[in-house]
Amino acid sequence: MEAAAGGTATGGRPLLAILDALAAAVTDTGGETAKRWAEFTEVGLGDSPARAMWRHLMATYTPRFPGSGTLIEEAMSEGEAKGEAKGRAADILRILDRRGIEVSEAVRERVTSCTDLDALGTWLDRSLTASAAEELFDGT
């Protein structure tokens, strides 16, 4: 391995270049996947000077992601927003259910199909005090 890498297991330019490239890839990936790979790499480096290099790189690396405007980033952001909207809709319906308020299919459909987080936030607040499910939409 040392000969192939052109360096030593304890450091050197080739190892630093490899770790730097890996840090860039992991950091640009972002999210939970990046966290897992960063941790796997650190654990795999054991108690060596290379681990210290890795920790320094990960602590100081400036990612391009998020904020690079890539298609993947946009898709991830859209997916997160959809997930948040779905969660809020479920919370609204659960609150109404727990409060014993009947929810028509039309109300259920309007709530679950909504992707506007501001509207869902308003409806969530109203679900706490509404006496009928249709009151969620008063003024909207």
DSSP string computed for the chain? -HHHHTSBTTB-HHHHHHHHHHHHHHHHH-HHHHHHHHHHHHHHTTTSHHHHHHHHHHHH-----SSS--HHHHHHHHHHHHHHHHHHHHHHHHHHHHTT----HHHHHHHHH---HHHHHHHHHHHTT-SSGGGGGTT-
Q: How confident is the model at residue 2 (pLDDT cuts 50, 70, 90)?
A: very low
Backbone angles phi and psi of 11, in degrees to 5: 155, -155
Asked whether residue 113 falls in the same domain as residue 83, the answer is yes
Within-domain flag for 66: no
- Are 133 and 85 in a shared domain? yes
Q: Please tell me whether residues 89 and 120 are part of one structural domain.
A: yes
Q: Give the mean model confidence (pLDDT) for residues 15-27.
A: 86
Q: How far apart are CA 9 and CA 16, in angstroms?
A: 10
- Residue 8 confidence (pLDDT) above 50: no
- Residue 65 counted as domain residue: no
- One domain for residues 50 and 85: no
- Worst-scoring range by mean pLDDT, 39-48, 65-74, 95-104, 114-123? 65-74
List, for residues 30-66, the tens digit of each pLDDT value.
Answer: 778 888 888 889 899 988 889 888 888 888 776 555 5
Q: How far apart are CA 96 and CA 91, in angstroms?
A: 9
Of 34, 60, 86, which residue sits at a domain end?
60
pLDDT at 90: 95
Q: 82 is in which domain, residue-wise? A: 71-137
Residues 13 and 35 reside in one and the same domain: yes
Task: Flag whether 28 is in a domain.
Answer: yes
In a domain, 86, yes or no: yes
Domain count, the chain: 2
Same domain, 77 and 131: yes
121 shares a domain with 84? yes
Q: Is the pTM of this model over 0.85?
A: no
